[in-house]
Every structure is written in structure tokens, then in C-alpha cells.
Structure 1
Amino acid sequence: MWTNLTLALSGGTSSLTGVGASGSVSATATASPSGGSGSYSYSWSRASGDSGISINSTTSASPTFSAVCQSGVPRTATWRCTVTSGGVSVSETVTITLTFFSRDTDPV
């Protein structure tokens, strides 16, 4: 039975405090579709922003995004997730923001 296909995205923001001038930071975003035919396929692509943010899987419902960040300088990119079910597709975007703070520059 077919029902209207909808999509909600969540997550995508992370910060890390460590030692040094830079650090590797990662965050997970989650696609939560509903409706459709019950079988979903996922396709993630960068819509805009920092090309230094990588994704571990473009076909996962919950991919991990990561980047090496300079202390106190956030890296931001908008990613689009397209979910397909029964030949019908729906897309939404999520903004991924990753920030590293050196213990020497950690905000109070």
C-alpha cells in the first residue's frame, strides 16, 4: 500500500576540545523517512559549503561527516539527502557544522 513519502533530517553539529592547533571532528546526521512503499534508498550529496567535510557513505540512512578543523574555526557545509521509495523521491537538506577547540582557546 502506498502512502505519501516524507523525510525528516536531524543531527549534524559537533565540537571537540583537544590538544594542538587542529583536530579531527565528526558528526552523524540521520534521515528518517516515512510513508512510501516501505523500502527506502538513500543518496547524499553536498549542496554547498566546505568541500573539506567528507562523508563515510553516500547511501546510508545515518552517515558520518568528518573534517580536520583548525582550532576555533568552524567548517560548515549543507548536504542534501534524497530518499526514494517505490519510484518516488523526496529531498531535504541538513547543515553540518564541525568545530575543534584547542584547550588553549576553549571558550569560557
Structure 2
Amino acid sequence: MENLQSMPEVQKIISLGKANGEVSYDDINEILPDKILNSEKIDDFFTLLHEMGIEIVEEYTRNTLEPASTLVPKDDSKPARKKKNPPLLQAVPKIPSNFT
């Protein structure tokens, strides 16, 4: 497996897997050379990923986006004042409390 880990393609998949916690079969098929995909080394490759805690998935399932708090600029202005009654409630007549 040491020889396998020294391959740049395998290192790329490991880096991707460590960053996301998972790697897709599409990524593996796209990145790994055919000499690995079509050989007995593929079992060693999957074992290596498993030992590193990298999950192999059909499609990515984990959220890889930045938290929303880092994407939205902070607004330091005062919050908008709440209206006492929203327009819909102003238009609807009040129902008597003894109405059942």
C-alpha cells in the first residue's frame, strides 16, 4: 500500500476525501488511472481509504458549503421597527371572545 500512497492521483483523492470526509465514485473514476482501476490494487486502494476514515459514496451527502454566517455580510445598522399590527390583521375584524 505504501507504493499506492506515493502516487499523485491517490494523494489527490486522499486530500479530497480528508477535506470532505467522503469521496464519490465519480471522482475516483475520473482521477485514478486505468492501471489502478483495472487491477488488483483497487482493493488495496479502497482499504486505504477505509482505514483513513474516508467514506466512498455515490453522491456527496455532506454539506460542503461555508456556514451561512460567513457568507452574509454583518449588518451593523439598527433593526427595522416592527409594526404593531400586520396589514392582514388590521383588515380582519376581531372575533368576540364569547363566540364558540
TM-score (norm. length: structure 1): 0.27
TM-score (norm. length: structure 2): 0.28
> Which of the pair has the greater relative contact order for Cα pairs under 8 Å at 6+ separation?
1
Work out which of the two has the higher radius of gyration on C-alpha atoms and give 1 or 2. Answer: 2
Task: Give the structure with the larger helix fraction.
Answer: 2
